[in-house]
């Protein structure tokens, strides 16, 4: 889980950061991104301790994600940041560009200065404030990317709980904004709320049927 981090350091990186996102597919709410840095020696030690189960967030239960998120955030020497792009920004930019915006915000929020090299889950990201390498399925191959996936996912899930409180009836806490049968039925019955991404087809259709 530290192969990519080690390689980046051998190639001259001063600081290696893992980046991942959560919430590209849902019909509502912000898209989140997290960036995580932990020095290589500390990462090796963490992998033998509190980070031993750090992995792709999709492979972990919600409870396990919360436990690991707390462990990541409290690890000495760990620098982390979580950022998002709003539904309005998603509608204005499109989901891909909004995701990249959230990633840029997360990296900048770290405040790590010069010499940063980023490992990013998935495909290349344009406009990052540092050199980067995209890794397909990086959240299961890189420890720092996996840690970022956990922080992004737990932040997004917490926001879905807020959306549930502020906009009851849609079931955001359960389906997390994804286009499940339950969510689509609520969308048809209630129309879009302010958290919905108006550029997404099911939301457009609900608005067109007079439920806006």
pLDDT in tens, 82-111: 999 999 999 999 999 999 999 999 999 999
pLDDT, position 151: 98
Order across the sheet with 31-37: list the strands: 79-85, 31-37, 15-22, 116-121, 132-135
Query: In the prediction, which pLDDT does 157 show?
Result: 97
Q: Give the tens place of pLDDT for each residue, 115-153.
A: 999 999 999 998 999 999 999 999 999 999 999 999 999
pLDDT above 80: residue 212: no
Three-state SS for 68? Answer: helix
Interval 47-63: pLDDT, tens = 999 999 999 999 999 99
Residue 119 near residue 141 (C-beta atoms within 8 A): no
Q: CA torsion angle for 40, 41, 42, 44 (degrees, to 10)?
A: 90
State both tokens at 89. 């920004």
**What residue ranges define each of the domains in the chain, with the CATH number in brackets?**
3-161 (3.30.420.10)
Query: Do residues 82 and 174 lie in contact, with contact meaning Cβ atoms separated by under 8 Å?
Result: no
């Amino acid at each position: 889980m530290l192969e990519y981090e080690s390689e980046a350091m051998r190639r001259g990186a001063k600081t290696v950061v893992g980046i991942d996102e959560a919430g590209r597919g849902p019909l509502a709410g912000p898209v989140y991104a997290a960036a995580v840095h932990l020095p290589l020696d500390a990462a090796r030690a963490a992998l033998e301790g509190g980070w031993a189960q750090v992995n792709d967030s999709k492979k972990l239960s919600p409870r396990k994600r919360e436990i690991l998120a707390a462990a990541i955030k409290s690890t000495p020497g760990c620098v982390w940041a979580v950022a998002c792009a709003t539904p309005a920004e998603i509608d204005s930019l499109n989901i891909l560009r909004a995701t990249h915006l959230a990633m840029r915000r997360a990296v900048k929020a770290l405040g790590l200065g010069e010499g940063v090299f980023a490992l990013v889950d998935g495909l290349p990201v344009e406009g990052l404030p540092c050199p980067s390498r995209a890794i397909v399925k990086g959240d299961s191959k890189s420890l720092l990317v996996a840690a970022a996936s956990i922080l992004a996912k737990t932040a997004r899930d917490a926001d879905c709980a807020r959306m549930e409180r502020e906009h009851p009836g849609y079931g955001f806490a359960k389906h997390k904004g994804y286009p499940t049968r339950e969510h689509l039925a609520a969308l048809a019955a209630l129309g879009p709320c302010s958290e919905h991404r108006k550029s997404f087809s099911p939301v457009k259709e609900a608005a067109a049927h007079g439920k806006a």
